[in-house]
Amino acid sequence: MSFLSTLFGKKEKATGNISILNKNEYATQIITNNIKPIDVRTASEYASGHIKSAINVDLFKPSNFKNYFEKLDKEKAVYVYCRSGARSQKAARKLLNMGFEQVYDLRGGYNAWK
């Protein structure tokens, strides 16, 4: 069992260095650690509603996505979400390939958050 699953219980499903958190786990971590989650949806999706303090970095704009994340500390955890969880999984894998060590994804995406 990994350190994080020991810390947060067995509900967490880890896929490599991608941890998929349910709504309560995700909310607790972003609030407790004062984290700004990354919304990887389009600007219009973001404008129609998003998690408070989330930063919009559209996965479908690859150069913007890459430029934004290249500036971040790859040793710090990144929290991503999308509409339902599929795009954020793609984003999470992309971030691991860019060298990020730990990526957290919201199970069910913004649909689960609402």
**Catalytic machinery residues:** 82
User: Model pTM?
Assistant: 0.85
CATH of 3-113, one of 1.10.10.10, 3.40.250.10, 3.30.470.20, 1.10.150.450: 3.40.250.10
Task: Give the pLDDT confidence of 10-36 residue by residue, as tens digits.
Answer: 444 444 499 999 999 999 999 999 999
* Per-residue pLDDT reduced to its tens digit, 47-85: 999 999 999 999 999 999 999 999 999 999 999 999 999
Burial annotation 60-69 (CB, 10 A radius, 16+ → b, else e): eeeeebeeeb
pLDDT over 70, % of the chain: 86
Q: Domain spans of the chain?
A: 3-113
User: Three-class SS of residue 63?
Assistant: helix
Which amino acid, one-letter code, is at 26?
A: Y
Q: CB atoms < 10 A from the CB of 52, how many?
A: 8
**Number of other CB atoms surrounding residue 101 within 10 Å:** 13
State the average pLDDT for the chain: 90
